[in-house]
Structure 1
Amino acid sequence: MIANISEPRRIKKLVVCCDGTWLDSAGGRKNIPSNVTRLARAITPTDSDGTSQIVYYQAGIGTGLGMLSQFAGGGTGLGFSENVREAYAFLANNFYQEPDRSRSDSIFLIGFSRGAYTARSLGGLVGQLGLLKKESMSWFYDVFRDWQNAGNPDYTPTFWQNWSDYQERLHGGQRHSLKTTPSNDIRQINEYLEEYRMSLLSFGLTQEAEIAAVGVFDTVGALGIPVNPLFQKIFGLPSFLRGYKWVDTALDNHVRNAFHALALDEHRAPFFPAVWERPEGCTTNLKQVWFAGAHSNIGSAYSDIASGNLTLAWMMDHLAGDELRRDSPTDWNHEQWLQFDIDFLKEQRLINLDWQKREGGGHRRWGLGTIYNSLTFPQVLAGWRTRKPGRTHPVRYDKDYTDTTRLLRNTNERIHASVRIRTIRAGPFYEPDPDANLPSKITFKVMNAIATIIQKIAGRGGNIYYDPMRGGPLRDWELKDGFKHHDKYSINVMDSRDLGTGQPPYWQYTGNDPLLKDGTTMPEDELGTFERVVLKEYVECAEWVEASNSGKVVAKISPDQLDDLQRRSATM
């Protein structure tokens, strides 16, 4: 049967999933699937309207064969260029756009850790040079090298020279060269890349392409790929691999949506996060939310995936356009968002319950999953650094230094509801990782013993409760949730006489940072549909958590009072 040629071509969704360092769900070895892997598996083959959702999964850096490959890739980031090129080739070979650009395939980029940096770099490459057409892909390596070295004044671009030679020999065409050249001045870099892109467009070698959404978990690599300080000393390496120093991961208008899940409790210096900043005039819908836990809690690479389930559901909500669909359904277009299998998410909850029963000491409440301390031996040798939500300084990649004269602007940072719940319910802080090596276990026990002694000296008993406001990442931030009392050292955290004012929770800055105005606030992020699916399985607290998240707790029973009533009724 001959197809109706007047029928418009069906648009598809192209999804690139870049996993974190040493993570590989297709490598022939059983391991804990990261959130990148789980998202790739949760995406349905087609959405409810029949639109194909095509997933390209890429293993993380350092997953090659042999110890040398894994050591070099994981420690220095080698393999980054290859990963970006392979992901770009997938997009270029599959992307379709109507000749008049009225419709095109939707592109989604997902990543964790250095895979998040890979995804963001890929987005920058697409924005700055477009997607090369299939017939132009034979020149991709030259174009990629020119882009990668746009900030290196000692580099001589190769593509236009080689392409002009080819055109002259085969077609008698005119030669072409650029007026601008690579530079270490950010303004000249942008001018050079803009001229480069416009030249590619004028010769029909590339095409403009928008990114529907970039969704990343705890991006590592503000200046490029960070090198472990231990390797810096042993091999004389720089703090960042300069081959990647000039790569731009900033937002611009070709990215419609950008979502970033961040770890509050990651202290390893080389893992300091690359928080996004939305430049003036940028129209990207940006949201960045902080969760309790270390780097791999947020990316879900630990045995207890309870925290990872929270970030997984959060990302599913945002990549599905849940907020827009609820607030403005007429503006929601299924072609611009992903569809997920909700049963897959429910199954992850059951998998985690089974693990908690077998290994974790029993069922845990919502938001109280295990938090692991990643700052153990030998990682502690690389140094440590406390993260500062709302107070991150920009990194000048053209000058190789952190600009301490200002803070990142227009970051739209928020705090997840689970942070508040963990804090007011006296949730546990760091706990031992059953999968850790012996040096890490010893380091944890020593550090835990010291912390316990400090707790006892302070008169708080031996238990170490979660409190990010006490010398932690939320130091100088105060929780405002409409309740007068927060006894952080008692499980019975809700006073029966303190029933709330019905105020939506937020965090207010009370410190003396001259770059941040006293009274600045970070709102608590509103729970989405997938998040509520996970939450409602925790029947002992679901109603109260959901109501308090939206500021509707007025004269309602607290979760601990509910527990008490349930215990009493069970004994009657």
Structure 2
Amino acid sequence: MFRRGSLKGGDDLASNVTRISRAIKPASSDSIPQIVYYHYGVGSQGGIVDRVYGGATGQGLSEAVREGYSYLATNWEIGDEIFLFGFSRGAFTARAIAGLIDNIGMLTKDGLPYLAEIFRDVQHRHDPDYKPKHPNKPFKNKPSVMDPRYSHELERRGMTRLRVPIKVIGVWDTVGTPRIGWLEKVGIQSSASKRMSFYDTRLCDCVEYAFQALALDERRSAFQPALWEKKPGNETVLRQVWFPGVHSNVGGGLEDQELANITLAWMMSQVTPFLDMDLDYVLDQQDDTERYYKESKQKPRSWSFGKIVDSMTGIYALGGATTRTPGRYYVVDPTDGRKTDIPLQSTHEYMHPSVRSRLRLKGPGVNDEGLYEPKALRDWKLYVEYDGEKGRGGRPDIFWKLRASDRNVTARTIPEAPLWPLERELLEIDPEIEDFVLRPAPTARNSVRRMHNAGRSQSRRR
């Protein structure tokens, strides 16, 4: 969406992108229009085969990026604030649009007629053998987009506006091209990866705030997450938080939205300093979830105890299973989209209190079978510590610490994310869980449980 300008990519179901778009007020308290543009995510429409093929090959991604970018370039004016939201490949699309803005700025009405050719130039910026289809468009003797002279010449000719800030990118579980074994074997997947690799989804310097909710329990190899890292000198405020659940538990769109309500409240909390939102919306969504439990003759579920579905089913399961690895992700080669052996740095990862709650209070496992025992945390240990003088009357220091000896890691400790006022309102619906979350017992130094956080209590917003 955008304040007098902003954008979203997302899902046709009640995903969190859909829901946050509905929570944004038409105008701010000081009468600034808050305009929402919604675009369906790649691989989210059609039958199962169409969705799998579209998602796995990135079919439609170029169109989604161009359409979203074109909308912004047509409507954006100096002083407007840009907000990009997305879930899954919609998140990838939002990040790719940000990368396009970072590379070529915001095209003017004089530059937009050349968008197709400029877009091709951006697509092939890593290809030393690239021969432009129209070598004299948008201007003669153009260098590679990698050369700053390209964007500077666009600016000199009045075709673009450079150094355009993006206020916020808020995403749920970014996924690019899911890798599916049988598609790789027939050559479709590898060519798709090549086409997808040009998209610039790194954390751009032009982004002021970047927020990502990550699914701790997603196991499909086809749905590996794309984390951001902050490069030296980058001043973006970055928060990437792990939540219990699989891809759609975190991004929303399932019948049981309890876990998705938690991630929605978290994201709304991150952006409310910059956007005017209906803060009762998430509480209304929780009411809808309670109504679902009643109508489906289920017992109401405690905070953080929403059903985690088994995502290892159907055609995507053919790609195999991979346990997610908080604190241990690697740089991706921009030329082919494949993982390198270089660990990401400065990822600013956090563990949400709902992970600790579901684990320590013996919440249900996948499909409500057994207890919640996330494989992603098998190498991590939870610590809850209090100041010696204040005891449990003080603020706890809560964090997860890596027990593995692997030196090639991004982070050896992951702090627990603080709960913001809107999140606290959701938690207050369940007083018993609230007491456990806000006043946890300290862990012994030799405790076998694994966890990590740096929680902080906050007063209610309203």
1:128 corresponds to which of 103, 107, 111: 103
The match for 2:447 is: none
What residue number does 1:430 align with? 366
Residue 144 of structure 1 aligns with an amino acid whose one-letter code is: F
> Aligned partners of 1:477, 1:543: CA distance in 2, in Å?
24
Please tell me the residue identity of whatever aligns with 1:117. F
Instruction: Specify whether residues 153 and 211 from structure 1 end up closer, same or farther in structure 2 by C-alpha distance, changes over 3 A only.
Output: same
Taking the aligned partners of 1:50 and 1:203, their CA distance within structure 2 comes to 35
Quick check: 1:119 aligned with 2:73? no
1:261, distance to aligned residue in structure 2 (A): 0.4
Which amino acid is the alignment partner of residue 400 of structure 2? W
Task: State the number of aligned residues.
Answer: 439
Deviation at 1:403, TM superposition (A): 1.8
> Aligned pair 1:251/2:206, yes or no?
no
Q: Is the 8 A contact 2:357 2:433 kept in 1?
A: no
Aligned to 2:397: 504
Please tell me whether Structure 1 or Structure 2 has the larger radius of gyration of its CA atoms.
1
Alignment of 1:28-67 (within 5 A): 32-63=13-44
Contact 1:228/1:239 (<8 A) preserved: no
Is 1:417 the equivalent of 2:369?
A: no
Q: SS at the partner of 1:307?
A: helix
* 428 and 91 in structure 1: CA distance in 2 versus 1, 3 angstrom threshold: same
TM alignment of 1:271-290, pairs within 5 A = 271-290=223-242
1:116-156 deviation per Cα after TM superposition (whole angstroms, max 9, x unaligned): 00000000000110010123211111111111121223322
| Percentage of identical aligned residues | 37
For 1:18, give the aligned amino acid.
Answer: G
- Match of residue 381 from structure 2: 478
Question: What is residue 354 of structure 1 aligned with on the other side?
Answer: 291
Match of 1:105 in 2: 80
Structure 1 residue identity aligned to 2:432 = E
Q: Aligned partner of 1:207: which letter?
A: R
Amino acid at match of 1:212: K
Q: Distance in 2 between matches of 1:136 and 1:422?
A: 52
Q: Separation in 1 of the partners of 2:53 and 2:318?
A: 18
Quote how far apart the aligned CAs of 1:355 are. 1.0
Return the offset for 1:70.
Answer: 4.1
Given that residues 149 and 243 in structure 1 are in contact (C-alpha distance below 8 angstroms), is that contact kept between their aligned partners in structure 2?
no
Is the partner of 1:110 in helix, strand or coil?
Answer: strand
Report if aligned partners of 2:8, 2:17 keep a CA contact under 8 Å in 1.
Answer: yes
User: Does the 8 Å CA contact 2:399/2:454 hold for their aligned counterparts?
Assistant: no
Give matches, 1:212-361, under 5 Å: 212-221=167-176, 225-234=177-186, 236-238=188-190, 240-321=192-273, 337-359=274-296, 361=298
Question: Are the aligned partners of 2:329 and 2:343 in contact in 1 as well (CA < 8 Å)?
Answer: yes
> More deviation in 380-389 or 124-133?
380-389
Aligned match of 1:17: 8
Structure 2 gaps, min length 5? 441-452, 458-462
Instruction: Determine which of 322, 327, 335 is the counterpart of 1:385.
Output: 322
Aligned residue number for residue 57 of structure 2 = 76
**Residue in structure 1 matched with residue 449 of structure 2 by the alignment:** none
Partner letter of residue 206 of structure 1? T
Give the aligned partner of residue 514 of structure 1. 407
TM-score (norm 2): 0.89
Within the alignment, does 1:204 sit opposite 2:204 as a pair?
A: no
Change (3 A) 1:398 1:264: same
Structure 2 residue matching 1:107: 3-state secondary structure: strand
Q: 1:49-107 deviations in whole A, cap 9, x for unaligned?
A: 1111000001122355677754532342200000001101110111111xxxxxx1000
How many Å apart are 1:499 and its aligned residue? 6.8
Question: Is the 2:91–2:171 contact (alpha carbons within 8 Å) kept by the matching residues of 1?
Answer: yes
Aligned residue runs from structure 1 range 455-470, under 5 A: 464-468=370-374
Of 339, 355, 368, which aligns to 2:305? 368
* Structure 1 SS opposite 2:182: helix
CA RMSD of aligned residues (A): 2.5
Distance change >3 Å, CA 547–CA 48, structure 1 → 2: farther
Equivalent residues of 2:310, 2:367 under 8 A apart: yes
**For the structure 1 residues 478 and 407, does the alpha-carbon distance in structure 2 shift closer, same or farther, using more than 3 Å as the test?**
same
Q: Could you say which residue in structure 1 is the equivalent of 2:460?
A: none
* Amino acid across the alignment from 1:132: L
Residues 238-277 of structure 1: CA distance to partner in whole angstroms, max 9, x if unpaired? 1743222122111122111100100000111111000111
Contact 1:536 / 1:543 at 8 angstroms: preserved in 2? no
Secondary structure of the structure 1 residue equivalent to 2:207:
coil
- The answer to which structure, 1 or 2, has the higher relative contact order (CA under 8 A, 6+ apart) is 2
1:384-443 CA deviation, whole Å, 9 max, x = no partner? 111110111111122553222x311010000000000011100011017xxxxxxxxxxx
Asked if the contact 2:205–2:236 (Cα under 8 Å) also holds between the matched residues in 1, the reply is yes
Distance 1:197-1:162 versus aligned 2 partners, 3 A rule: closer
1:13 CA displacement: 3.7
Structure 2 distance, partners of 1:93, 1:368, is: 44
Q: Distance in 2 between matches of 1:45 and 1:348?
A: 19
Residues 45 and 160 (structure 1), Cα distance of their counterparts in 2 relative to 1, 3 Å cut: farther
Is the alpha carbon distance of 1:67 and 1:531 closer, same or farther for their aligned partners in structure 2, counting shifts above 3 Å? closer
Paired residues of 1:252 and 1:279 also in contact (CA < 8 A): no
Match of 1:533 among 420, 425, 439: 425
Indicate which of 156, 169, 177 corresponds to 2:141: 177
Separation in 2, partners of 1:94, 1:507? 45
Tell me, in whole angstroms, the C-alpha distance in 2 between the residues paired with 1:220 and 1:124. Answer: 16
2 CA distance for matches of 1:396 and 1:39?
Answer: 33
Q: Is the 8 A contact 1:252 1:283 kept in 2?
A: no
Residue 178 of structure 2 contacts residue 224 of structure 2 at CA under 8 Å; is this kept in 1? no
Partner of 1:460: none
2:398/2:416 contact within 8 Å kept: yes
